[in-house]
């Protein structure tokens, strides 16, 4: 067979979230109601309700979203902690310590009382204001850190009110030898700080620092009152990434932008799928382990396939589970149709898309998989023992790196494989195909198989939609045609 091609897709793209409505084309589930389970971030029926629950990386807060909220930017704005009003307006410091920073024309010498404040979004430990060749600095590392010129050891004030990845106002104020740190106007505590602090850089790691990075994030509206007189001596609005954006608005100590910083578009924020709600009510897939949840927002942008939200599996340990109690094993027939894209240029082993397949305890029923040599296959368990029984696969179909509708029908030992609405040449790959399925209590999984109850053979790519039925009542060709139209896939 020749290659089957779909339109390309990306992991985000423009900094402004995807807009527009991605509703069902003719209501997939309403047209083909035989589904036992269906998952998508587009609406597959009227009154779908929530289609996904997302955890944002900055503070692990979770929230539910409808298909409309996925497409209209609400999901991305949630993942980005509501910072979309800063998009394209502020400079994003990359945090690598050697490129993106702002150097000041002259030193700012803080020898007595002072008051400093600024807005900041910080990801991880960071220096906010520093002396690139000396010890003076203000920053964050599991607490607010600070040091005078003559002390290489930083002091520390608790920062319980400071949240990484959140836009907050941070303030340092010294009176005598007492330094007070504030977050959004609330005192975080005090510490002793004597001596002079010399500042000549914004967002760069100080010259002799160890263990604390340059700022990864955004800093703006910096106000410095050198004598704590109530009147600012220096102000840096930090609107963008040119020297004009970092001119001193009060004094004459302008900033020079170093490196090639981008404008802020939510960089640093990620969102992960904790629950993919079944659009057949009550049949949900989920994963409560944060380290193995598929991603839906990457570095501030919605992960999409042809402008439709499309979760990403990492090829390592990502998975979603459907409890077997919510969707018991079929007996002699099933059909699956999935919109997906494998990201590898070549596969070194099987990668699982969807099924009920636990290898260690011999609880194999069936699984739709990507096979090496760019083929689609179905693995089956022995109907009596649950050990591996056999595999059926497509013949010579180039499937890697394309957005496709792939599917399979099984009927008492007869297997057919479909790609983009057409049956493709297929045959036995190894073993034998059973005439009935092993009845297992193992969970269904999306994007992996299971071994010792842990994800294995994890899919490396994106899975956007699953239609699964325990009968052949509905026409898989028409199901795939609906999916292709909804996802902009051309045969």
CATH number at residue 323: 2.60.120.200
**Number of structural domains found in the chain:** 2
| Position 124 in a domain | yes
In this prediction, residue 434 carries a pLDDT of 97
| Position 302 in a domain | yes
| DSSP-derived secondary structure for 438-470 | ----PPEEES-EEETTEEES--EEEEEEEEEES
Residue that is last in its domain, among 230, 263, 296 = 263
Mean pLDDT by 10 residues, the chain (491 residues): 33 36 64 96 92 94 97 95 93 81 96 98 92 88 90 84 92 97 97 95 72 87 97 97 97 95 93 97 96 97 96 96 94 98 83 95 95 90 96 83 94 97 94 96 96 94 97 97 95 80
Residues 251 and 278 in one domain: no
Residues 234 and 317 in one domain: no
In this prediction, residue 38 carries a pLDDT of 97
Count each helix (H run) and each strand (E run) in the chain, helices first: 4, 39
| Position 357 in a domain | yes
Residues 99 and 245 in one domain: yes
Residues 326 and 233 in one domain: no
Domain that holds residue 119: 94-263
CA distance linking residue 137 with residue 489, whole number of Å: 54
Residues 198 and 321 in one domain: no
Q: Cα torsion for 12, 374, 351, 6, to the nearest 10°?
A: 30
| Position 205 in a domain | yes
Instruction: Using DSSP, state whether 407 is helix, strand or coil.
Output: strand
Residues 355 and 376 in one domain: yes
Which stretch of DSSP H or E encloses residue 477?
helix 476-487
Distances, alpha carbon 62 to alpha carbons 79, 165, 320, 370, 398, in Å = 9, 15, 16, 31, 38
- Asked if 405 and 419 touch (Cβ cutoff 8 Å), the reply is yes
| Position 9 in a domain | no
Residues 372 and 480 in one domain: yes
Which stretch of DSSP H or E encloses residue 75?
helix 74-79
**Phi-psi group of 323: left, alpha or beta (phi > 0 → left; psi -120 to 50 → alpha; rest → beta):** beta
Residues 62 and 135 in one domain: no
Residues 251 and 279 in one domain: no
In this prediction, residue 373 carries a pLDDT of 78
CA angle, 444 as apex, 280 and 484 as ends, to 5°?
Answer: 55
Q: Model pTM?
A: 0.87
Environment class of 116 (CB within 10 Å of its CB; exposed 0-12, middle 13-18, buried 19+):
buried
Environment class of 491 (CB within 10 Å of its CB; exposed 0-12, middle 13-18, buried 19+):
middle
In this prediction, residue 16 carries a pLDDT of 35
| Position 333 in a domain | yes
Residue that is last in its domain, among 236, 263, 290 = 263
Residues 292 and 438 in one domain: yes
> Residue 105 has which token pair?
């024309």
Residues 45 and 114 in one domain: no
Residue that is last in its domain, among 225, 240, 263 = 263
| Position 2 in a domain | no
| Position 18 in a domain | no
């Amino acid at each position: 067979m020749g290659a089957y091609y779909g339109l390309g897709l990306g992991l985000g793209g423009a900094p402004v979230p995807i807009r527009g409505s991605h509703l069902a084309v003719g209501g997939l589930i309403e047209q083909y109601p035989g589904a036992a389970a269906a998952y998508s971030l587009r609406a597959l029926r009227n009154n779908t309700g929530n289609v996904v629950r997302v955890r944002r990386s900055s503070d692990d807060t979770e929230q539910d979203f409808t298909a409309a909220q996925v497409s209209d930017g609400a999901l991305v704005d949630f993942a980005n902690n509501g910072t979309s009003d800063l998009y394209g307006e502020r400079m994003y410091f990359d945090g690598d310590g050697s490129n993106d920073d702002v150097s000041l024309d002259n030193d700012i010498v803080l020898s007595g009382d002072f008051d400093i404040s600024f807005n900041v979004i910080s990801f991880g430990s960071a220096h906010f204001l520093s002396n690139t060749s000396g010890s003076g600095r203000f920053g964050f590392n599991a607490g607010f850190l600070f040091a005078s010129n003559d002390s290489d050891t930083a002091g520390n004030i608790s920062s319980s009110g400071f949240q990484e990845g959140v836009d907050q106002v941070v303030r340092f104020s010294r009176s005598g030898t007492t330094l007070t740190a504030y977050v959004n106007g609330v005192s975080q505590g005090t510490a002793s700080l004597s001596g002079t602090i010399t500042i000549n850089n914004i967002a760069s790691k100080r010259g002799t620092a160890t263990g604390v990075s340059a700022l990864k994030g955004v800093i703006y509206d910096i106000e410095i009152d050198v004598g704590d007189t109530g009147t600012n001596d220096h102000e840096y609005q930090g609107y963008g990434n040119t020297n004009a954006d970092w001119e001193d608005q009060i004094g004459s100590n302008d900033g020079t932008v170093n490196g090639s910083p981008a404008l802020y578009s939510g960089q640093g924020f990620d969102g992960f799928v904790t629950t993919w709600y079944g659009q057949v009510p009550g049949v949900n897939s989920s994963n409560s382990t944060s380290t193995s949840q598929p991603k839906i927002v990457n570095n501030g942008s919605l992960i999409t396939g042809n402008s439709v939200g499309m979760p990403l599996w990492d090829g390592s340990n990502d998975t979603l589970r459907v409890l077997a109690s919510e969707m018991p094993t079929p007996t002699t027939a099933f059909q699956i149709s999935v919109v997906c894209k494998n990201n590898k240029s070549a596969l070194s082993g099987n990668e699982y898309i969807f099924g009920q397949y636990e290898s260690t305890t011999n609880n194999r029923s069936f699984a739709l998989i990507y096979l090496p040599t760019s083929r689609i296959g179905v693995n089956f368990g022995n109907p009596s023992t649950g050990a591996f029984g056999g595999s059926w696969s497509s013949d010579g179909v180039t499937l890697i790196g394309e957005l496709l509708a792939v599917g399979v029908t099984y009927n008492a030992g007869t297997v057919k494989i479909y790609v983009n609405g057409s049956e493709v040449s297929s045959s036995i790959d190894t073993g034998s195909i059973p005439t009935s399925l092993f009845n297992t209590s193992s969970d269904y999984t999306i994007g992996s198989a299971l071994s010792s109850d842990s994800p294995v053979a994890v899919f490396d790519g994106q899975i956007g939609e699953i239609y699964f039925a325990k009968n052949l009542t509905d026409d898989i060709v028409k199901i795939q045609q609906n999916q292709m139209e909804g996802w902009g896939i051309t045969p």
